[in-house]
């Protein structure tokens, strides 16, 4: 995959919007179901969850679920598909709330986070509430395979969150540690978004396998691009402070690659628990000037190439094209 021009990226966005519009009516149903599920008689929980829901988001995981369900019998299994799509978004929302507490984040998608509005304790319970609602929603699905795959992903997701906390400011971690962490934090949830959409719609077993692998590598690229945008994006576009990960001691791929460069020793001295704002600014400049942001972006492209290898084996051309467009958008987005 080559670096594409601004015009090509604009075309990519238009193609994504076109795919999105094809599923707009189904996504609207998912959105209404989400609003119903986050409702609570406890006013603080209802207000906090609704704030998070109305803050927006691209609903990428439900979109993957809807597209992948087309390889089976979507009209016959709509209720199950909707439940899976909603549950996956609720789980994703819960992880965002918990992440913001861990990262002491005040902004997400340009809006105040739940923790900044209601405090850390309330935010943790809101995240737990969203997890519980997702599990309750899935209880209406009788297929044990759905529960096995998703519960396994959630267990690993929690392990990934714990590993991230453990590795804050840890320069001894390897690239393998980082890759395992983003697999657990991001890739597996996108992977099951694809595979479960196909499973509940009774798609062929081979397609389920291919979609699971496609989703995994797309998810790996998704998180690496997030880590790239943390350094290269604008706060007004990304919706949160730039280089927030480094300031919190979360060493992502661009930073871990930069430690191998000529200014690596200086970088490691700067990024420490007692790091000052001036130290952080200097460290950010070192990463930006190291060339490692582009190296990380190239790694994301390699992940996408792996995803496309699996996608190209799917015989349904319409679904394959739609998934490739969404995956391309993930790889080239600016937000």
Backbone torsions φ then ψ of 167, nearest 5 degrees: -95, 10
Q: How would DSSP label each residue in 3-39? A: PPPHHHHHHHHHHHHHHHHHTHHHHHHHHHHHHHHH-
Beta bridge partners of 111: 108
Q: How many CA atoms lie within 13 A of 173 on its CB side?
A: 24
Tell me the pTM: 0.91
3-state secondary structure of 107: strand
Q: What is the pLDDT of residue 12?
A: 82
Q: Which two tokens stand for residue 229?
A: 């945008």
Phi/psi of residue 322, nearest 5 degrees: -65, -45
Q: How far apart are CA 223 and CA 242, in angstroms?
A: 16
- Reading the chain (335 residues) residue by residue, the pLDDT tens digits are 344 555 556 678 889 999 999 999 999 999 999 988 888 767 778 788 887 887 767 899 999 999 999 999 999 999 999 999 999 999 999 999 998 888 888 887 777 888 888 889 888 988 999 999 999 999 999 999 999 999 999 999 999 999 999 999 999 999 999 999 999 999 999 999 999 999 999 999 999 999 999 999 999 999 999 999 999 877 655 556 778 899 999 999 999 999 999 999 999 999 999 999 999 999 999 999 999 999 999 999 999 999 999 999 999 999 999 999 999 888 877 55
What are the beta bridge partners of residue 155?
Answer: none
């Amino acid at each position: 995959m080559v670096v594409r021009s601004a015009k090509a990226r604009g075309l990519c966005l238009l193609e994504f919007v076109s795919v999105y519009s094809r599923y707009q009516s189904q996504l609207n149903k998912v959105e209404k179901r989400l609003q119903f599920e986050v409702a609570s008689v406890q006013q603080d929980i209802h207000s906090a969850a609704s704030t998070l829901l109305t803050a927006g988001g691209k609903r990428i995981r439900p979109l993957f679920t809807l597209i992948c369900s087309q390889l089976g019998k979507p009209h016959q299994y709509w209720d199950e598909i909707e439940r899976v799509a909603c549950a996956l978004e609720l789980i994703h929302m819960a992880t965002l709330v918990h992440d913001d507490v861990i990262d002491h984040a005040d902004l997400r998608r340009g809006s105040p986070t739940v923790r900044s509005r209601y405090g850390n304790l309330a935010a943790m319970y809101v995240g737990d509430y969203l997890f519980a609602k997702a599990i309750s929603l899935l209880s209406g699905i009788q297929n044990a395979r759905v529960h096995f795959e998703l519960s396994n992903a959630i267990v690993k997701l929690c392990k990934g969150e714990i590993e991230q906390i453990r590795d804050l400011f840890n320069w001894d971690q390897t690239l393998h540690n980082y890759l395992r962490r983003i697999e657990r934090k991001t890739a597996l949830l996108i992977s099951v978004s694809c595979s479960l959409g196909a499973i509940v719609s009774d798609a062929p077993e081979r397609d389920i396998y291919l979609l699971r692998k496609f989703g995994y590598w797309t998810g790996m690229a998704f998180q690496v691009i997030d880590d790239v945008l943390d350094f290269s994006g604008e706060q007004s576009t990304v919706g949160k402070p730039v280089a927030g990960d480094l300031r919190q001691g979360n060493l992502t791929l661009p930073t871990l690659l930069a430690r191998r460069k000529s200014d690596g020793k200086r970088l490691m001295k700067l990024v420490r628990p007692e790091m000052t704002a001036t130290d952080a600014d200097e460290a950010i400049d070192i990463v930006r000037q190291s060339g490692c942001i582009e190296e990380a972006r190239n790694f994301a492209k390699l992940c996408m190439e792996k995803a496309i290898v699996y996608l190209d084996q799917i015989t349904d051309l319409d679904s394959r094209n739609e998934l490739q467009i969404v995956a391309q958008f993930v790889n080239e987005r600016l937000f």
